[in-house]
């Protein structure tokens, strides 16, 4: 039986990044402007590699090519084949990110031969003043949208939320959104890197150039009826598991481990991701093998693993696909 797999994170340096990802993980600095840690990625040119064990150095696509049915499960393998369907990130924002939108599966397939991008944010460590934008706060049409982008007032049409630990923001494709400064989130998304940048506060790079925008492309991607959503805050009591989000692309839960927690997995018929958002844990698989799961680490449990036991004290987000 395949063991639990640990992958080496891929750190992304960007102007709006900071230092909190390395601090959160308890590792040496990765630089002063790390905005993202790609925890598990099948994206071409950015493929995650197994960190240790008998498969050390193999990429996620290579593992799927050789062990796809074991990792994915029969039903998901029939659906996705050797293509891992999710991309998992930690994001640390010290500045506002651009206003953007993502296409759905149909439009992304037509334009880019790609999956669309439905995603969710789980707020881990926001600063006291952290905020983000998600959805319109008023009626909107393509014409009004273009006009507000042109006169730099589009931010006024978005709903602003001040984030707290445990807040969950579901972002279906077509929902206009942006992460504001001060956020530290876990992002779970379809395995797509297609982003239409709508507005970037007229910021210029070191050469004085404005960033490229994709206003024309975004017009057909936006859901103009998408308005303010109710913020969901998810917590789990010690020894319990709470549902975080459930959609066709992923299901996520939050497990609060206080000593020991038995997590049955067979009925999921899917791989399970274990992402530690607090504390320090050990994962014991059904054959008794132990894998450390410190804060900030992500593990991939193959679909053939019937159960795992989580030991220690902390919180873990689990991700699978129904």
Q: Which of 198, 57, 204, 64 shows the shortest CA–CA distance to 136?
A: 198
The answer to whether 5-233 and 241-320 have equal CATH topology is yes
pLDDT for 207 equals 82
| Cβ-contact 214, 221 below 8 angstroms | no
Q: How far is CA 300 from CA 51, 208, 273, 294, 305, in A?
A: 12, 43, 5, 14, 10
* Catalytic residue list contains 197: yes
Phi, psi of 142 (to 5 degrees): -55, -35
Task: Summarize the confidence of residues 90-101 as an average pLDDT.
Answer: 97
Please state the domain extents for the chain. 5-233, 241-320
Q: Which of 215, 126, 228 shows the shortest CA–CA distance to 175?
A: 228
- For 25-62, the pLDDT digits (tens) are 999 999 999 999 999 999 999 999 999 999 999 999 99
Helix (H) or strand (E) holding 77: helix 74-80
CA angle 132, 138, 141 (to 5 degrees): 110
Phi, psi of 212 (to 5 degrees): -65, 135
pLDDT for 293 equals 98
Question: What is the rounded distance in angstroms from the CA atom of residue 261 to the CA atom of residue 31?
Answer: 36
Residue-averaged pLDDT of the chain = 96
- What is 5-233's CATH superfamily? Jelly Rolls (2.60.120.10)
Task: Summarize the confidence of residues 141-165 as an average pLDDT.
Answer: 97
Which CATH fold topology does 241-320 show?
Answer: Jelly Rolls (2.60.120)
pTM: predicted TM-score of the whole model, two decimal places: 0.96
Q: Which of 20, 111, 175, 197 is catalytic?
A: 197
Phi, psi of 57 (to 5 degrees): 90, -15
């Amino acid at each position: 039986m395949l063991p639990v797999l640990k992958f080496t994170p891929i750190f992304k340096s960007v102007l709006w990044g900071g230092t909190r990802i390395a601090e959160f993980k308890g590792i040496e600095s990765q630089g002063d402007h790390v905005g993202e840690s790609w925890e598990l990625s099948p994206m071409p040119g950015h493929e995650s590699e197994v960190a240790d064990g008998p498969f050390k150095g193999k990429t996620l696509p290579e593992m799927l090519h050789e062990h796809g049915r074991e990792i994915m499960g029969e039903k998901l393998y029939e659906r996705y084949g050797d293509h891992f369907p999710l991309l998992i990130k930690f994001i640390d924002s010290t500045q506002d990110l651009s206003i953007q939108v993502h296409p759905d599966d149909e439009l992304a397939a037509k334009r880019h031969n790609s999956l669309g991008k439905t995603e969710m944010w789980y707020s881990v460590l926001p600063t006291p003043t952290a905020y983000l934008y998600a959805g319109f706060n008023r009626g909107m049409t393509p014409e009004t949208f273009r006009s507000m982008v042109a006169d730099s007032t589009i931010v006024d049409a978005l709903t602003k939320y001040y984030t707290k630990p445990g807040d969950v923001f579901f972002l279906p494709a077509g929902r206009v959104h942006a992460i504001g400064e001060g956020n530290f989130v876990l992002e779970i998304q379809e395995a797509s890197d297609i982003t239409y940048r709508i507005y970037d506060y007229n910021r210029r790079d070191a050469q004085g150039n404005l960033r490229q925008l994709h206003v024309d492309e975004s017009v057909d991607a936006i859901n103009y009826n998408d308005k303010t959503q109710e913020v969901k805050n998810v917590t789990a009591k010690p020894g319990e598991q709470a549902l975080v989000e459930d959609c066709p692309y992923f299901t996520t839960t939050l497990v609060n481990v206080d000593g020991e927690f038995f997590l049955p997995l067979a009925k999921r018929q899917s791989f399970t991701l274990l992402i530690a958002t607090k504390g320090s844990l050990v994962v014991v698989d059904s054959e008794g093998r132990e894998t450390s799961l410190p804060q900030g680490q992500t593990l991939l449990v193959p679909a053939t693993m019937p159960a795992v036991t989580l030991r220690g004290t902390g919180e873990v987000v689990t991700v699978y696909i129904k």
